[in-house]
Chain A
Amino acid sequence: MSSIRLKQEKKFLYLTIFPTVIIIVVIGLIPLIYMFVLSLSDFNLIKPPARFVGFFNYLHLLSNPRYIRALTFTIVFAFAATILELIYGFFVAYLLADKEVSSSYSSVMRTLILLPFIVAPVVISYVFKTLIYDPTFGYLNYFLRVLHLPAFDVYQGSISAPIGIFVMEVILRTPFIMIILYAGISSISPSIFDAAQIDGASWFKQISEIIIPVIRPIIAVAFVFRFMDVLKMFDEIYVVTHGGPGYVTENLSIFAVKHAFEYFRMGYAAAAAFIFLVLVMLLISPFLKMAKFE
């Protein structure tokens, strides 16, 4: 009797999951397979029809200096931005979770810090481009002029643009990490900190011996989410620098979009996107293991 019921329950479970599986297959798996098939052709909207070219697109991409440059920029930028956001977000979360900080002050601060994260990235990017970085109208250069410091032109030199994008990214995205880590730190029982203080543990000891080990899976999750997001970053770069000056801030998303929707080389862009997908999976798998998801 019970085994029949178990079977029925199992059937019901499969039945309820089925619509979700269908949706995932339709909007995830089928486009992915189509993208792979496309990547094996020279499909160009301007020069139809498409021909099968095997792995030519992949081989060409891996010897294309522009693609390698974009790949390097994407990975280096993603690591640097995520690590800084993690460190910065952790300390803000730690300060806000401190029992000395009143809950009303903490909630006001959390709301304010979250503001840039809530607004659409395109809007914030335009704000940075026109109201902050612009050499003529921007606040940044206004204050630099007041302080008799040299102007900051995000479009001059090879380092200004990456710095400009990096600073914007950290300001915009740290709140996400902060809010996750704040939840983690707040969940640690205050009695543990009290005991540590009685034993004479410094704040550094409390962080390294209590907080980090306890919230390690949460840190890993925050890191993985942010890292994936920075790897895929598009809006901010597209609005502020368009990948420039030259190729200085061109990442893989910009590269793929340009090849797909400006040069209409769909096959080539699909191959670039497929390599990117594999790369993201390879890069995040160690962190997922660290979070003991596997």
Chain B
Amino acid sequence: MKNLMKSTVVGKLIMCILLATLIAATGAYAADWGNIDWQQFAGTKLKAINIPMVVSDYGYTQERLRDFEKLTGMKIDIELVSTDALRQKLLVDFAAGRGEYDVSSVGFASREEYSIAGYLEPLQKYLDNAKLTDLSWYNLDDYTKPVFSSGISSKAELVFIPYTAEYFLLWYRKDIFENLGLGVPLDIVELRKTAEKLDRVRKEGRITAYAYIDRVMPGPGEAGWSIFCHANRYNAELVDFENMISYLTTPLAVEYFDYYTSMCKKYGPPGSANWGWGDIGVAYKQGMLAMATAGNASYRYIEDKETSTVAGKIGYAPPPMNPGGKDPLWIWGWGINAVSKAKEAAWLFIEWATSPPLVKEMGPDYGCPARKSAYYDPLYLKAMPGQEFINSQLWMMEFGVNSNPSVLHAGYSEPADIISKEMSMVVAGIKDVEQAAEDAEKALVEIGYTPFQSYIP
């Protein structure tokens, strides 16, 4: 009897401790989510769209989305489609005014396409609404100015909240560089010299990796984007989209085109004349490349020990730039469809998806969080490939990016496609650079552009 009483008391004590722990934990959880009523739209169903990438695969996991559903009592369904399909589906949905997707993942380059036509809901009023946003907890100061302002359209409206901050980095093979005593190239001249040296060494049979490659596959999202980003780093203007002026045949543009195409033609692996980002990633993982300029967001893919032969051997540095050159920032952010029937509920999802605790929690899983504080989290530091990777990202975030590059224009796609097609012909040996630049300019004139030489302001 005494034993029975004793065990009952111990059992009750354990129950009390568990209960107290649970209450404390719940309290802490609630405190982490600011001072708003997350349940105010309980029962609402939201539909969102995104693309498959590291952050969607490892950041916004099903487990975390279920946490959101528990917190808010809402349901969220995120459809993942390819980058091209995302743009196509969203524009068709926007133009049809159906509001199929309440929340959409907006790529930086599409911001103007969507916002000029009024397809995206301005978000400032949701930030200013105390019922919906606890500003002191949401802490907008945690974003650097270039990163946050990337969500502000040319109509001065905040149309998306960033959740990734992506930059081009120079990926280089540390083992090869160390063996050959090479330094990391800091500018365009050094990049070319390093590529020349690596190419010479490869031809001598001392290494098997090809020196360098960039995207050559025509298209606005492939070579088009690389060509324009490189031009920003080169500090060469190619097209003024706003005033529809073509600079393609100016001496600086031709010099730049010659640089871009010759780097790909001379130093790229065989068959790379039609490579897009996917091909470059695969080649890099297989040890075929010594250098590439590629996005920081892909580190997890090339550092995967199971599939990459070069995991742990990669160095990361800011991409080489000419004086005055900067890299166009790349951001993925969440925006609300202007005709969504559940805009306030959609805002709660965005607030959750870009909130300090969630971004901090997800940071180690996807590497390029948009919030600064996430970069100093011990778990993040431990998960990244190295301090060099983090430092390069932080440097780019503060100094290396242009948050309002000229490529950010609704009219970007067609000229970018035209230029990338002409440059792919140079790499394929069909045309010389001058001819390709002239032909690209002629094609731009066809769609209403004016050559710089005959432009009268």
Which A residues fall within an 8 A CB radius of B?
Answer: 45-48, 64-66, 134-136, 151, 153-158, 241-248, 258, 261-265
Contact = CB atoms under 8 A, between A and B. Distances in A.
A248 B436 CA distance: 13
Nearest to B95: A45
A135 B288 CA distance: 13
B2 to A, nearest CB: 77
Contacts of A158: 425, 428, 430
Nearest to B112: A46
A264 B411 CA distance: 10
B446 interface: yes
Task: Return the 9 tightest CB-CB contacts between A and B, nearest first.
Answer: A246-B425, A135-B271, A245-B428, A135-B270, A155-B273, A155-B274, A45-B91, A263-B414, A158-B430
Interface residues of B, number: 35
Contact of B116 (A46, A135, A156): A46
Contacts of A156: 273, 428-429
Given A242-B219, A263-B417, A66 B443 contact: yes
Secondary structure of the A contact surface, majority rule: loop
Contact of B424 (A66, A135, A246): A246
B250 interface: no
Contacts of B59: none
Contacts of A246: 218, 421-422, 424-425, 428, 430-431
Given A47-B410, A157-B429, A246-B218, A241 B269 contact: no
B99 to A, nearest CB: 15
Contacts of B92: 45
B94 interface: yes
Contacts of A244: 217-218, 274, 421, 424-425, 428
Interface string B244-283: 0000000000000000000000000111011000000000
A47 B84 CA distance: 19
A156 B410 CA distance: 32
A87 B395 CA distance: 64
A46 to B, nearest CB: 5
Contacts of A261: 84, 88
Given A66-B443, A245-B218, A245-B427, 4 more contacts: A46-B410, A151-B270, A246-B421, A262-B414
Contacts, number: 98
Contact of B446 (A64, A136, A263): A64
B1 interface: no
Contacts of A65: 443, 446
Interface centre among A157, A241, A243, A246 (most CB of B within 10 A): A246
Interface string B264-306: 0000011101100000000000001000000000000000000
A104 to B, nearest CB: 42
14 contacts: A46-B411, A48-B95, A65-B446, A135-B269, A135-B270, A136-B270, A151-B270, A155-B271, A155-B273, A242-B219, A244-B428, A246-B218, A246-B430, A246-B431
Nearest to B440: A246
B274 A245 contact: yes
B117 A46 contact: yes
Contacts of A241: 274
Nearest to A50: B95
A157 B430 contact: yes
A243 B217 CA distance: 10
B286 to A, nearest CB: 9
B104 to A, nearest CB: 14
Given A47-B117, A244-B421, A134 B430 contact: no
Contacts of A262: 84, 219-220, 413-414, 417
Contacts of B270: 135-136, 151, 153
A242 B218 contact: yes
Interface in B72-119: 84, 88, 91-92, 94-95, 113, 116-117
A69 to B, nearest CB: 11
B274 A242 contact: yes
Nearest to A258: B417
A155 B273 CA distance: 6
Given A47-B410, A151-B270, A245 B425 contact: yes
A65 B273 CA distance: 24
Contacts of B113: 46
Contacts of B422: 246
A134 B273 CA distance: 11
B410 A243 contact: no
Contacts of A157: 428-430
Interface string B418-447: 000110110111110000000000010010
Contacts of B411: 46
A66 B219 CA distance: 16
Nearest to A157: B429
A48 B220 CA distance: 21
A45 B119 CA distance: 10
A1 B219 CA distance: 70
A59 B118 CA distance: 31
Interface string B200-227: 0000000000000000011110000000
B94 A45 contact: yes
B117 A48 contact: yes
Nearest to A45: B91
A246 B443 CA distance: 12
Nearest to B224: A262
Contacts of B94: 45
B115 to A, nearest CB: 11
B253 to A, nearest CB: 18
Contacts of B446: 64-66
Contacts of A66: 443, 446
A134 B271 contact: yes
A220 to B, nearest CB: 38
A175 B34 CA distance: 67
Interface centre among A154, A155, A158, A243 (most CB of B within 10 A): A155
Contacts of A46: 91, 113, 116-117, 410-411
Contacts of A265: 414
Interface centre among B218, B219, B274 (most CB of A within 10 A): B274
B109 to A, nearest CB: 12
Nearest to B218: A244
Nearest to A246: B425
A264 B91 contact: yes
